[in-house]
Chains A and B, each alone.
Chain A
Amino acid sequence: MNMISNVNDLGLLQKVSAFLWAEAALLDDKDYDAWLALWLTEGFYTLPIGEGEDFDNQLNLCHDNDRMRRDRIQRFKQGFSISSAPPALTVRTVSRFVIDSAEGDTVTVSSAEHVIEDKFGRQRVWAANMKHTLVVSEQGFKIRAKVVRLLNSDGVLNSFSYLF
């Protein structure tokens, strides 16, 4: 395990935590343009099914490049998608941060995410393990990869009108 060993590491964990919390707030607020701006163009946003790592060659819940991310947000915002007009409301918490590696300008961080959604007077709970690959830039962190593994990704889910 990569333990915090000095003051600088502690600073990194705080910065990473602050970034992921800010991202979580954007997603709950559905401030999607701001969320898109967090990404590097070459980044992939992936919700895999099961344990696999070869996202390109396996079926995922989503495996979005820049174009797909933008199309997805466009779909959410245009108002023609009945499932996202209105979407479910969400409140999420992100915690259990662990810095997996920090080399050069790149940090990978694992975390836990709990999302509660509300629609039609019904609440559903989702839990996921997340892994972010973040790159330091002049504007702060940018996301190079985000992998969200729902606890029951290979089980029977419901449809989602929001992002994890």
Chain B
Amino acid sequence: MLHASEKFSDLDALYSPDAKVATSMYEDADLFSEEMERIFKRTWVWVAHDSELADKGSFKLSNVGLEPVIVVRDRKGEVNVLVNRCRHRAATVCEVKKGKTSSFQCPYHGWGYGLDGSLRGLPYPEQYGADFDKGAHGLKTLRTESYNGMIFATFNDEIEPLVDFLGPEVCRYIDLFMKQGGGFPVKVLGEHQFSVPMNWKVQLENTTDAYHFPVVHKSFMQSLDGDAEEAFKFLDTGKGYVEDLGNGHSVMVMIPERIDLDEHLDDPIEERFQPLVKELRDDGYPEDQVLKIVRAVGGAGFNLNLFPNVSFSLAFFRVLTPVNVEKTDIRHIALGMEGGPAAANRMRLRLHEHFQGPMGFGSPDDAEVWERVQRGTKGGEDLPILVNRGLVDETPGTLGPRGHISAETGMRAAYKMWKRMMSR
């Protein structure tokens, strides 16, 4: 039997220089194990947004690849990411999805840990001898850094700082994305979670795939009013683009006028936002703030896709968690304005429910086609999967190639990074 790393030594056979993906990329369990080690254990993985950890002691459960972690704000206000596994006999120390606590105690033998993961106490410690080192038995902690509220963790102590991994263009787009706070801090309002029988890379591809939108989301488009429907016809207008931002990241600009939400504030307001305009005016918000809030409620005009697990998608975060080679969990995190008008946040919630999640008008159709990809790979093992669309007219962008709005430039950016990480 070949050792896994030998089996996958020819990376060109898995992702070819002319942008074709081998079928085994979606269905080989050994390759999946390699990816978890070489990618998810070695790079920055998104785990939480700042607003989910509002206070000292606030925590939530998350994942870094296959590893369950606790993300918690300690007494000093620092965010720690801890592997959810007691150092004694491996039991999870927390099974509450989110909440507030002063410590984590293992339910099996009572080992107690502080919010920074340090081992605080254990029953009858004398049986370990006088030289037992509590300092060496804390919960395993991950290196943790954040940018503009987005918290990432990594098992790799050697990796570059988060801001260097993101790079200047990604940071610029993150800052632009956060303008949808409309002058208020961006806050997580809730999340939809659903599992799809597909390889994680099928999802990774999708957030940078504008080509599917008018086909898969026709029924969503039909539920929109005229001018809202116009806004989603970005393939017809052809003004958008996809750009490789380096390190596997990419941006897909669908509505260029909505890259910077502080600009074009004089543009006409869509019909569907008129009731909100009236409500904000009636609540006494000054006119310039009304325009800014209403514009922000509509979200940004782009999807920013970070390798390997998070996407800033128009108005929400899309997070993928690989479960096994043919199963991936998806979270659609709804965002709103901390301290902003309740009416604006209500509209954000209803817009999120309209498209996203298990009962949205969009996500179920996405989930269906992703599953169909996974089912389709059972046939024609020798046939490649094409991500070469739009190679014909790519031009140089700031950090990488820029292609047509329907180009698969973002997928190629991700697979380029995939190859880089799998080759070392």
Contact = CB atoms under 8 A, between A and B. Distances in A.
Contact of A59 (B191, B371, B375): B191
Contact of B358 (A68, A72, A120, A159): A159
B367 A75 contact: no
Interface stretch (B18-26, B103-111, B134-142, B214-222): B214-222
B97 A154 contact: yes
A71 B219 CA distance: 9
A84 interface: yes
Given A47-B359, A71-B361, A156 B353 contact: no
Interface in B334-373: 334, 342, 345-346, 349-350, 352-354, 357-359, 361, 363-365, 367-369, 371-372
A62 B359 contact: yes
Given A83-B364, A120-B371, A158-B358, A57 B193 contact: no
Interface in A87-105: none
B51 interface: no
Contacts of B358: 61, 157-160
Contacts of B9: none
Interface in A47-63: 47, 49, 56-63
A73 to B, nearest CB: 11
Contacts of B375: 120
Nearest to B361: A75
A80 B363 contact: no
Contacts of B195: 156-158
Contacts of B350: 63
B189 interface: yes
Given A154-B97, A158-B367, A159-B367, A75 B219 contact: yes
B223 interface: yes
A158 B327 CA distance: 12
Given A82-B369, A120-B371, A157 B334 contact: no
A111 interface: no
A140 interface: no
B192 A59 contact: yes
Interface in B355-395: 357-359, 361, 363-365, 367-369, 371-372, 375
Interface in A128-164: 154-161
A160 to B, nearest CB: 5
A134 to B, nearest CB: 23
B369 A59 contact: no
A159 B194 contact: yes
Which of B191, B345, B346, B361 lies at the interface centre, i.e. has the most chain A CB atoms within 10 A of its CB?
A: B361
A82 B218 CA distance: 10
Nearest to B348: A59
A80 B215 CA distance: 8
Contacts of A61: 192, 353, 357-359
Nearest to B189: A59
B223 A155 contact: no
B349 A83 contact: no
Nearest to B195: A156
A52 B97 CA distance: 15
Given A63-B353, A154-B97, A84 B364 contact: yes
A74 interface: yes
A78 interface: yes
Given A62-B359, A71-B361, A157 B353 contact: no
A75 B364 CA distance: 12
Contacts of B17: none
Contact of A81 (B190, B196, B353, B364): B364
B365 A82 contact: yes
Interface in B182-220: 189-196, 216, 218-220
A72 B368 CA distance: 17
A49 to B, nearest CB: 6
13 contacts: A47-B359, A57-B349, A59-B189, A75-B361, A78-B222, A82-B216, A82-B369, A154-B193, A155-B193, A156-B194, A156-B195, A158-B367, A160-B358
Given A62-B353, A158-B358, 15 more contacts: A47-B359, A49-B192, A58-B349, A59-B352, A62-B359, A80-B218, A81-B219, A82-B216, A83-B367, A84-B364, A156-B195, A157-B192, A158-B194, A159-B194, A159-B196
Interface of B: 97, 189-196, 216, 218-220, 222-223, 329, 334, 342, 345-346, 349-350, 352-354, 357-359, 361, 363-365, 367-369, 371-372, 375
| A-B interface, 5 closest residue pairs, ranked by CB to CB distance from nearest | A59-B190, A159-B364, A81-B219, A83-B368, A83-B364
Interface of A: 47, 49, 56-63, 68, 71-72, 74-75, 78, 80-84, 120, 154-161
